[in-house]
Chain A
Amino acid sequence: MNTVKLVAVFAENRPGQVARITEVLARANINIRCIIVASTGNCGIMKVLVNNPDLACRSLKDAGFAATQTDVVAVEMPDKPGALHSVAQCLATYDINLCNTSGFAANDRAILVLEVEDPAQAGEVLKKHGLHVLTQEETLAI
């Protein structure tokens, strides 16, 4: 099943921390296509969709960051009212919990990024529902 790799990096919840991370990525000539920050109390995790996740992850680790790659599902939806609802309804039917959800619309396309326990299973369910689950390349090409 198609999944998309995000680079996840630990950051403290205080001014300047995102800049420390983006500085490393900029130096490695990494293009960031999507950014998600989830925080909990004094710390959090920043996740980025980038053109070269392996290089991004390695650069961050070399700079001393706690970084890893996580698999998420990127699904394309029609850019119209009710589209998100239909995806959410479908996942609910199969009892799939959304740990983190984000999305973006660009170039007349709407993409939903889903972080779930089992990305492969979620991908299958969405595919069965007639939705297009994007590959890493397709996602980056938007």
Chain B
Amino acid sequence: MERPALEALQLKRLRETVRRLERVPFYRGKLAAAKLTPDTINCAADLRRLPFTTASDLRENYPDGLLAVPREEVLRLHTSSGTTGKPKALFFSRRDVDNAAELIARAFCMTGVTRRDVFQNMMTYGLFTGGLVMHYGAEKVGCMVIPSGPGTSERQLMLMQDFGTTVVHITPSYAFYFADFLEKRGINPRKDLSLRKAFVGAEPYTEETRRKIEAALGIDVYNSYGLTEMNGPGVAFECEGKCGMHLWEDSYVLEIINPATGATLDDGQTGELVLTSVNREAMPLLRYRTRDLTSIIPEPCACGRTHRRIQRIAGRSDDMLIVRGVNIFPQQIERVLMAIPQVGRNYLIQLEGLDEMTIKVELSPATFDGQVGHLTQLQNEVVEKLRAELFVRPSVELVAPGSLPVAEGKAKRVIDKRSL
């Protein structure tokens, strides 16, 4: 779709969304104060006259304060994962379920997945969108879907072997864990399995991690981005170019803001992603602060798609650690560690006492040579490279491969026990 046509479609849907939200008390007053009606809104940038919608707005309006359709129109409920207190509830109408599947199907086709593929969804089913939403998308493509859920690695492997799985959906930490499991079982995924591709998401990860997973499993790894509040997975996906994720602009209006001031940032500048869902019926959200940090890639993609791309998520604005007065994102640490070949697959950031940062780093069994001197050298190298990146000197402890906890869902990489 050419850019002008895409923008016209986006505006048409934005107007429909505004019309729908005039019925929702939470938005009615805000739209009136900004003098926005379906007829006066002329471009996506007019949205900037509105205040942001935040995660706490969703919690305060729990369970159904933001519902934009009569209750009987709702087909499904999903909730957000991983937070304390009341979850964020998100409703889907029949059309929302179908549109969400359509966006996933688009992403599958974009990476060359066809109805001949066997798709094993290793994400948690249930309230988490990574299970069902992805499942419906794969069915739309016509893949044979194996709804394995996270389950045990033994069972995952059995399903892969018996049914010839070609594509999986998995978190980066479980991908590492599973690669390790295959190695221990003496299974060479290149020869013994039919795996070709993985959609890896639900946790932010780095380019180095992608390469390590690709090398360990002998597959193509595609990054995906989504959040429950915006349908779950399928908001943005990588094409075969693997260079940034196309964010479906017929369904979302994207903005990048300075998380501290709320000011809109230019394309190319890193800030917090703000999304407006323009193709949802049951619970559209205007200017929702995702807390995810990224930037818009202004250049057109070589693949020819006109939906603009966003960079790999650089972190979450609320994941930021402040250590000795310096802002640190866990992804910076991951990027440094994963670029060192002697470093294994897992790490843990511990904050203790008065701002002491210790990073536990698993040693890679593949490069271990039995020399004590090399361990000391490696430890010093990790400390120096982290210091150069973070401007804070951490302590580094080398730990045994597989000794750090691995989550089959979202990984917890930071333990903050500071007595500040």
Q: Report whether A65 and B397 are in contact in the complex, using a CB–CB cutoff of 8 Å.
A: no
| Bound complex: CA A123 to CA B363 (Å) | 32
Distance from B406 Cβ to chain A, minimum over Cβ atoms (Å): 12
- Bound-state CA distance A100–B374 (Å) is 13
B373-408 CB contacts (< 8 Å) to partner A: 373, 375-376, 379, 397-403
The number of residue pairs between A and B whose CB atoms lie closer than 8 Å in the complex comes to 70
Within 8 A of B (CB), among A87-108: 99-100
| 8 Å CB contact of B370 from A17, A39, A70 | A70
Give the dominant DSSP class at A's interface: strand
Give the Cβ gap from A20 to chain B, nearest Cβ, in Å.
8
- B370 partner residues in chain A, CB cutoff 8 A: 6, 8, 45, 47, 68-70
Instruction: Find chain A residues with CB under 8 A from B373 CB.
Output: 99
Whether A65 contacts B365 by the Cβ 8 Å rule is yes
With CB as the reference atom, state the residue of chain A lying closest to B369: A68
Check B371 for interface membership: any CB of A closer than 8 A: yes
Partner of B398, one of A6, A38, A43, A64: A43
Q: Does A67 have its Cβ within 8 Å of any Cβ on chain B?
A: yes
Given A40-B376, A66-B363, check contact A11 B369 (CB 8 Å).
no
Among candidates B184, B364, B368, B372, residue contacting A64 with C-beta atoms closer than 8 Å: B184
- Asked if B364 and A66 sit within 8 Å, CB to CB, the answer is yes
Contact with A along B174-208 (1 / 0, CB 8 A): 00000010001000000000000000000000000
B376 CB to nearest chain A CB (Å): 5
Nearest residue (CB) in B for A47 is B370
B401 CB contacts on chain A under 8 angstroms: 10, 64-66
A62 in contact with B184 (CB, 8 Å):
yes
Q: Mark B329-372, 1 if CB is under 8 A from A, else 0.
A: 00000000000000000000000000000000001110011111
Annotate A27-44 by CB proximity to B: 1 below 8 A, 0 otherwise: 000000000001111111
Q: Are A42 and B397 in contact (CB under 8 A)?
A: yes
Complex CA–CA separation, A49 to B398 (angstroms): 25
Per-position binary interface string of chain A over residues 1-29, scored 1 when its CB falls under 8 Å from any chain B CB and 0 otherwise = 00000101011100001000000000000
Residues in A with CB closer than 8 Å to B365 are: 61, 64-67
Q: Report yes or no: A40 in contact with B372, Cβ–Cβ below 8 A.
A: yes
List the B residue with the shortest CB-CB distance to A46.
B370
CA distance A92 to B372 in the complex (A): 22
Chain B nearest CB, measured from A27 CB (Å): 15
Distance in angstroms from A95 CB to nearest chain B CB is 18
* Known contacts A8-B370, A66-B363, A43 near B184 by CB under 8 Å: no
**A38: contacting residue among B364, B372, B399, CB under 8 A:** B372
Write out the residue numbers on chain B whose beta carbons fall within 8 Å of the beta carbon of A39. 372
Closest-by-CB residue of B relative to A39 is B372
Pairwise interchain contact B184-A65, C-beta atoms closer than 8 A: no
Q: What residues make up the interface of A, taking CB atoms closer than 8 Å to B?
A: 6, 8, 10-12, 17, 38-45, 47, 61-62, 64-70, 99-100
Query: 20 A-B pairs, CB-CB below 8 angstroms?
Result: A6-B370, A8-B370, A10-B398, A12-B397, A12-B400, A17-B400, A38-B372, A40-B372, A40-B375, A41-B376, A42-B398, A43-B375, A62-B184, A64-B400, A64-B401, A65-B365, A66-B368, A68-B370, A70-B371, A100-B372
Closest 6 CB pairs of A and B: A8-B370, A66-B368, A66-B365, A70-B370, A64-B402, A42-B397
Given contacts A44-B375, A66-B368, 5 further A-B contacts (CB under 8 A): A41-B376, A47-B370, A66-B364, A70-B371, A99-B372
